Amino acid sequence: MKVCIAEKPSVAREIAAVLGASTKRDGYFEGNGYAVTYTFGHLCTLKEPADYKPYWKSWDLNNLPMLPEKFEIKVSNNDGIKKQFKIVKSLFDKAEVVINCGDAGQEGELIQRWVLNEANYKGKVQRLWISSLTTEAIKEGFQNLKPSEDYDNLYYAGFSRSIGDWLLGINATRLYTVKHGGYKQVLSVGRVQTPTLAMLVNRFKEIENFKPQPYWELQTTYRDTVFNYEEGRFLKMEDGEILAKKVKECEFEIVSITKKKGTEYAPKLFDLTGLQVYCNTKFGMSADDTLKAAQRLYEQKAISYPRVDTTFLPDDVYPKVKSILSKLTDYSELTSPLLDKKIKKSAKVFNDRKVTDHHAIIPTGMQISMQHGDQKVYNAVVKRFISVFYDDCKVSNTVVIGKAADVNFKTTGKEILSPGWRVVFGSGTSKTENLLPTFTKGEKGPHKPSFLEKQTKPPNQFTEASLLRAMETAGKQVDDEELRDIMKENGIGRPSTRANIIETLFRRKYIKRNKKQILPTVTGIQLIDTIQNELLKSAELTGTWEKQLKDIEKGEYSAAAFIASMKRMVDALVYEVRTEKVTSRISAVNNKPAGKSKTQTKLKSSKTIVGTACPKCKNGQLVKGKSAYGCHLYGTSCDFTLPFKFENKKISENQLLRLLSKGSTVNLKGFKINKQTIEGLLRFDENFKLKLEPKKSVMINKTNENNPCPKCKKGTIIKGKTAYGCSDYKLGCDFRYPFDLLFEKAKGQKLTKELAYKIMGQ
């Protein structure tokens, strides 16, 4: 009998259906000479400290470091897992060959090898290695089974990773908890999670300690087009003022016009990190949610294996592309132009040298019904796949140089000549980006220079998307896709584990979300401040470990050497920390994002109105005058002003900033109209002039509270979570008016209670 072992019951069911093993048994499927069984993820795990030496159970500094001579595994202590392991072992005992059908990756290899080792199976083992769960892929995989020995290095790398995490995680966590932890506070330290937390803390502190520096920009407006001083910003105001006065006295002349045709290539296919970054940026999905959605889509045969770190396809996928595209009938409007001609084959998509175990994430052509979150992920994968077979986008880039008094200014524009792949994403319809007027070399005319004071801004707090990119490049800011590909081998963690690392930091209350931002908590900051050993916090060192694990996988580095170096590091760390002086202990606290109010205050103070985009014309920037802020295009194409005072009341800069960002101030006291003092808030009218909205009288609201139900006339209108309804709904009145419908009927008017009751009463 041939025994197949998969990683999940659902995967085993798919394989069994293809092999004809249609009889369901307890813990496996049987039929046609096959038994298809499964694990539930990790059936086996590394032994715990107390399994090696009973006294290692105690959290005591004298027991550290804990360095087992030989690492051993055991069956997880769970009744369901123990039962399944017995079933698997009994099948192995009768097997003529075992076919490892675990997930085709490092973790999948490790899970099944541990089961094989713990079951003491000594027979022949073959490996099924597939990138999707379609019937076609499973059949092809069984026709091309590989010897298990081909994947020994993959197993050694996975085993080394687990041992490294055990050595550092268990020893360092106990070490810092006993030495620096307060009452009931476990200080969790890990090979990947600690450098990740350190990146977040360092960025947070960088922003908190940031001091904005002023700089100045010289611009001029000629024929409604903004030209910037060619040599950039000024760090000294006086340097720029000299040139600003100089150019005011001369006409502006067009010196040169350069048009250069260019090509924009389609975005690369998704690897897992790229997909997580895209879904976080576009839909606000967490990395963990994206991974789970992608895994579901893979198990439903809709996409290829998602836990990958390449954006390329091997050459042998090219012949299958047309078939996949033809099956994507829901996207026929996009695929039909491709199916009428030969499919493009680009080296930016197909490259055997850039593909190892798996290729980039692509659709399989299987169309299924799916939940909303999964649909968004699937749509992203499909559109990215379709786009790479479209023509490149052709553009014309224009650079215009002008001068006034021998001071050079520059502006740029772009025209889309042929949208190409952009039509897939709905961005091919706009033919221009910053379309310029037709300039002629040598033409002259009046211009309006402006000298703007601006301030440097702090870096942004990490979002989940930017944190994933930082983990991918070991903390280095890398925007270039080619360079990022080169640095992937030195990233922190693996694509498949990064989401879990971030979720672990959330669970341990070392970080918290603030909308899209990820901020460290008080405990998270205290932990990083307490760890004096820079190696533990080093993103680059962790990246080096990842590179060594990759080299083990390739057979270029020894697993024994990796484990020995980890043991030496742990030994040195224990010695170092035991001799540290304890100044304070870290206790469990209310883990709100650290220093939130202080940071927000600093960030707010670093925001200024000067340099903000004009809310009216959107092209200009706000500058400060004697009695008001105004658009720097004032007098040419825009008349926007924002006075310091309104109706005899001075408006603070913070309130003006709020007005610009949120559309209104808060209720303010002290406006004087017709000798009366009025309280209210400021908004812009349709012409972007200030208008005062007096504070509503409380009496009006109270009377409106008792509006009778327009249907039964007995009850009164009450407000629910998604709609207004009748207070007598329990007596049978089914009046209901959804909020969505109210907003629709309001037709852009501000929806006050008075307006709402008026609409419902009609």
Type of residue numbered 545: W
Q: Tokens representing 247?
A: 């150019």
> Which run of H or E residues covers position 244?
helix 237-248
- 305 catalytic, yes or no? yes
Contact (Cβ atoms closer than 8 angstroms) between residue 425 and residue 232: no
DSSP bridge pairs for 124: 97
**Phi/psi of residue 693, each to 5°?**
-110, 105
CA 175 to chain centre: 33
- How long is the chain? 762
Where do we find the tokens 């040599």? 231
| Residues 231, 467: Cα–Cα separation, whole Å | 33
How is 124-144 classified by DSSP, letter by letter? EEEE---S--SHHHHHHHHHT
Comparing C-alpha atoms, which of 361, 362, 359, 325 is closest to residue 342? 325
Could you tell me which residues come within 8 angstroms of residue 439 by beta carbon, excluding any fewer than 6 positions away? Answer: 223, 254, 257, 400
Q: Tokens representing 39?
A: 């694990």
**Phi/psi of residue 143, each to 5°?**
-75, -15
Give whole-number Cα distances, 109 to 86, 96, 103, 247, 553, in Å: 20, 20, 7, 70, 12
Contact (Cβ atoms closer than 8 angstroms) between residue 12 and residue 28: yes
Could you tell me which residues come within 8 angstroms of residue 431 by beta carbon, excluding any fewer than 6 positions away? Answer: 415, 416, 419
How is 321-359 classified by DSSP, letter by letter? HHHHHHH-GGGHHHHHHHHTSPPP--TTTB-GGG-SS--
> Which member of 28, 176, 305, 510 is catalytic?
305
Q: Is the dihedral of CA 6, 11, 13, 17 positive or negative?
A: negative
Alpha-helix runs per DSSP H in 663-733: 698-705
Give whole-number Cα distances, 637 to 226, 404, 678, in Å: 11, 21, 35
Q: Tokens representing 339?
A: 């199916």
Dihedral (C-alpha) 616, 618, 622, 628: value to the nearest 10 degrees?
A: 0
Q: Is 413 exposed, middle or buried, given 0-12, 13-18 or 19+ CB atoms closer than 10 A?
A: middle
Strands 124-127 and 432-433: unpaired
Whether residue 65 is preceded by a cis peptide bond, meaning omega within 30 degrees of 0, is: yes
| Residues 20, 152: Cα–Cα separation, whole Å | 30
Where do we find the tokens 């559109």? 383
| Residues 441, 467: Cα–Cα separation, whole Å | 47
Backbone φ/ψ region at 623: left (φ over 0), alpha (ψ -120 to 50), beta: beta
| Residues 463, 456: Cα–Cα separation, whole Å | 21
How is 191-223 classified by DSSP, letter by letter? TTHHHHHHHHHHHHHHHHT----EEEEEEEEET
Contact (Cβ atoms closer than 8 angstroms) between residue 431 and residue 420: no
Contact (Cβ atoms closer than 8 angstroms) between residue 65 and residue 52: no
Would you please indicate which residues are annotated as catalytic (active-site) residues? 305
